[in-house]
Structure 1
Amino acid sequence: MSGDNEFVVVANRLPVDAIVDEHGGTTWTESPGGLVAALSPVLSARRGCWVGWPGLIDAAPAPFHTDSGILVHPVPLTADDHERFYEGFSNATLWPLYHDLIVTPTYHRDWWQSYRDVNYRFATEVDRVAAPGATVWVQDYQLQLVPGILRQLRPDLTIGFFLHIPFPGPDLFRQLPWREEVVRGLLGADLIGFHLVSNAENFLSLVQQVSGPKGSHTGQPDSLKVTGSASVRTTTASITASDGREVAVAAYPISIDPTSLGEADDKEVARRRAELGNPECILLGVDRLDYTKGILQRLEAFEELLEAGALDPNEVVFVQVATPSRERIEHYRTARRQVEEAVGRINGRFAKIGRPVVHYLHRSLPKRLLRHYYQAADVMVVTPFKDGMNLVAKEYVACHPDGSGALVLSEFAGAADELLQANLCNPFDIESLKRALLQAVRGLEHDPETMRSRMRAMHEQVLTFDVDAWANASLRDLDEARR
């Protein structure tokens, strides 16, 4: 029996967080985030709902409306689901595979079975809530089988899929024992979206190589043709699926909602600098504590610059905010241990009593406070080994409309395709990291006008192509995909 929601967003997590009070009662607050902000008016206008896991084990509330009017439809997960589907297949198999094998993926058949089961559960919930002919937009790597399952359950639906992490080259993806099943799952969509043209090209190349029975997918293009602007890109490429549908493949770089960061507050910024001892230069890193983010390598590069005397510990501090992430997975525990050992070693070598040279926070910060640190920082350091986009880089740029500050950015972050005026580096090469850090610090000191011009160009890019532009382009093309 179909529901009455004409637009359905499907994601692993609902856009809400549970708050449990001292009496055991649970209340729900809307999660901050650009995707929620961009889709809230769409969900309201189209009589839509958001399907996802509420973040609780073995428990899920009845559907309810958030403060901004979003109808959320919870999908329950058991402890076994969380261990095998989420921590296992999603984050110990797919995550490292899609991030170019920074660590070795683990392939367990029971994890795969759980992934299939949970994807089927999500798809059946969408079947329940979606109106006849509704539009469904599936989000990210945890739910790649949902489009294909929905296509079988509800051929009347218009189905989009968007991947928020990188998509690997076909030679890497073909390691996956269940590669044909994942490809078939994705091809259930009418439109498959990626951040970058290179990701879309990887997928198109893969489909040519991994297509199930011979002749089941035809008409794959030899290359990806790109039309539109340099920052909100669409493509004419399509794949003819086995049921005769044309599946469009497109690239849409996601961005931020600049208004979500709040207003500038010079007094608060001055307070943050004073807390850090009013140094000449503040370097800032803000990341999930993930082995893909290159946190350890940037700290080691900073340490070598201090050791060589290129940076003066009396004049510079490094602030690293490392949000806890997936702490039950061994690779994440190892990453935390290595980062914290580096912080201790650097402070042991170069700090003074009461004046650490590295300030380290292993917790998340409220958006308002994070903005103050963004504004206070002279150099933002974003050095992932691989990243689908990296919105921290864009948030920092959005907080510097006057052109102050500098951005050190990994060439392997998706944002590097747009923020061309950043100090780009190769995070696998510590000398490249050191050069980029030094160029940013010295550029602010010796060539402030050039640095200001570069930052202003990036600021204009981020404000022009914000999260609304991304959502509008994606949903426009999804509306057209079935016509």
Structure 2
Amino acid sequence: MTEDLSSAPTTSTTDDGYDLVVVANRLPVDHTVQPDGTTTWRRAPGGLVTAIAPLMEADEGAWVGWAGAADVEHEPFDASGIRCVPVTLSAGEVERYYEGFSNDTLWPLYHDVIAPPKYHRAWWDTYQEVNERFARAAADVAAPGGVVWVQDYQLQLVPAILRRLRPDLRIGFFNHIPFPPVELFAQLPWRSQVLEGLLGADVVGFQRTADAANFLRAVRRLTARTTRRHHVVVPDADGGTREVRAGAFPISIDASSFDALARTPEVQARAREIRHELGDPEVIMLGVDRLDYTKGIRHRIKAFGELVEDGTVDVSSVTLVQVASPSRENVGAYMQLREEVEGLVGRINGEVADFGHTAVHYMHHSYPAEEMAALCCAADVMLVTSLRDGMNLVAKEYVAARSDESGVLVLSEFTGAADELARGALLCNPHDIDGLKATMMRAASMPRREMRTRMRRLRKQVLENDVALWSRTFLDVVRGTSTHADTSLEERHPDSYANVSGAPA
């Protein structure tokens, strides 16, 4: 869907504002400047947009976010039934707030310090300034008593700022990435400010129960706030107190739509074509990731390379396809990762490939949804070997695409998806290369009957718990019409609640 900005409605926000406002780092649309100077807008890819856009369209909500280009100002505009409220960022702010503090400080810290976080006071200063700008933009367009849903680690200070500006609002925050153990989170010089920022929300949501427990433990250890099971007691503007709920709300995909896409004749034909282009191997193993050091790409390629080198796998019958979408290419750690991955692929292929058969097919670019569905249909084994992952929606897309109940999902136990998909997937520890190799071979040789049993379980879980259910559930809790966050957290993670009185742990 493409919309010409010049023809989009330019009416101002209604006097009462919007009952539902989403605040995210990026708008749900990407802009392109045509040769004639016209700006067009296209629905942005990604799970968050897919999850929330239908709700926004139905409720005529507003979405506050950055348009994606530095030093470019846009007036609010309408696209696909959503009021888009752009926040302008300068090139320096993008460098310090986004590439710096968000992705070179918070991202590695929240992903178990797989790469060392960097702590720069100038980055923190800009992070505060940008969060204030996002919060003010949301405050300006939210209706009295409306709901504001803040998304992800780039905007952790927004809830408290918004609470100060608009105490009448219901505020939800959802963290799409892991929340680290307190022993790691405590390294952050501005740990208290971040926690107080999050506690401006009425509901703080996480992918996993363990993440919610980590957050509550950090609150107990690093603030003076009192916790009661999975609630935090904080002072309100009237001199009384209010309670902030912390809970697990695992995100999903638009499973029925991806299932339908994968069933189309065009995608099925493309899947057969892919297998033929790869030399019609007996087994295709597939990895699909952003090129990120948290995804375990090097570990899976190393494991596959060893299987080929030691003769366990013959490249004429088994091949690995690795799609690595470009990611944060201006951040040094990502540039280094790309060099390492491409060097590893080149070495393996140079040593073991023969005429007509390549061990590892590596693609460093993105694909449209139709091609991704075809790859999922073509692959016999999906390898999700993340070292740390909030959820991993690729695993769920693979399951949704397997309507014939074939295929095997190899899934890292360090993904959020492992909590939901453990009964059907083959779980692995990607740090254990020998164990990973054994799991890959088990997947490649799994009997058809076991494969169907496992995939049937996976499809039931993914199709019944889709992204629409996720967004409805979370918003119902924020609005106070559901008690979802009050159930099962202690039961599912009892060790995290050994000390909930507010005394030092």
TM over 0.5: yes
Which one of the candidate residues 231, 235, 241 is aligned to 2:234? 241
Separation of aligned partners in 2, 1:393 and 1:15: 23
1:4-403 maps to which residues of 2 (within 5 A)? 4-66=17-79, 68-211=80-223, 214=224, 217-218=225-226, 220-221=227-228, 237-243=230-236, 244-261=241-258, 262-264=261-263, 265=265, 266-403=268-405
Name 1:462's counterpart in structure 2.
462
Checking the alignment, whether the CA contact within 8 Å between 1:288 and 1:324 is kept in structure 2 is yes
Contact 2:28 2:53 in 1 (8 A): no
* 1:432 alignment counterpart: 435
Contact 2:24/2:155, CA 8 A, preserved across alignment = yes
1:267 Cα deviation (Å)? 1.7
**2-side partners of 1:110 and 1:260: how far apart?**
44
Picking from 408, 413, 416, the partner of 1:411 is 413
**Which amino acid in 2 is paired with 1:426?**
N
8 Å contact kept, 2:279–2:356 = no
Kept in 1, the 8 Å contact 2:203–2:246? The answer is yes
Shift of 1:259: 3.6
Give distance in 2, aligned partners of 1:124 and 1:344. 50
> Residue 345 of structure 1 aligns to a residue in which SS?
helix
Report if the CA contact (8 A) 2:373-2:401 is conserved: yes
CA distance in 1, matches of 2:26, 2:302: 35
Structure-2 separation of matches of 1:207 and 1:437: 40
Is the Cα–Cα contact under 8 Å of residues 158 and 482 in structure 1 kept in the other structure? no
Secondary structure of 2:30's match? Answer: strand
Displacement of 1:24: 4.0
Query: How far apart, CA to CA, are the structure 1 residues paired with 2:16 and 2:102?
Result: 29
One-letter code aligned to 1:40: A
> In structure 1, how many angstroms separate the alpha carbons of the residues matched to 2:421 and 2:482?
34
Among 444, 451, 454, the residue aligned to 1:441: 444
Q: 1:64-119 CA distances to partner (integer Å, 9 max, x unpaired)?
A: 222x3111111011000100000000000000000000011000000000000000
How many residue pairs match? The answer is 460
Moved more, 418-427 or 285-294: 418-427
Report deviation, 1:456.
Answer: 1.0
Q: Report the Cα offset of residue 317 of structure 1.
A: 1.0
SS at match of 2:235: coil
Distance between the aligned counterparts of 2:464 and 2:441, measured in 1? 30
Counterpart residue number, 1:474: 474
Deviations 1:291-332 (A, max 9, x none): 111101100000111111111111011111000001111110
Return closer, same or farther for 1:435/1:162 CA change in 2, 3 Å cut-off: same
C-alpha displacement at 1:47, in angstroms?
A: 3.0
Shift of 1:63: 1.5
Contact 1:191 1:481 in 2 (8 A): no
- What are the Cα deviations for residues 341-384 of structure 1, in whole angstroms up to 9, with x where unaligned? 01111111121234322111100000011100000000000101
Contact in 2 for aligned 1:281/1:441 (Cα 8 Å): yes
> SS state of the match for residue 180, structure 1?
helix
Name the structure 2 match of 1:231. Answer: none
Q: Report the residue type matching 1:38 in the other structure.
A: A
Partner of 1:228: none
- Percent identical among aligned pairs is 53
Partner secondary structure for residue 176 of structure 2: coil
Aligned equivalents of 2:309 and 2:357: distance in 1? 17
- The secondary structure found in structure 2 opposite 1:284 is strand
Aligned-partner SS, 1:418: helix
Cα distance in 1 between the residues matched to 2:147 and 2:171: 6
Which TM-score applies when normalising by structure 2? Answer: 0.89
Task: Structure 1: give runs of 5+ residues left out of the alignment.
Answer: 224-236
Matched residue, 2:4: none
For 1:352, give the aligned amino acid: D
Aligned-residue Cα RMSD (Å) equals 1.6
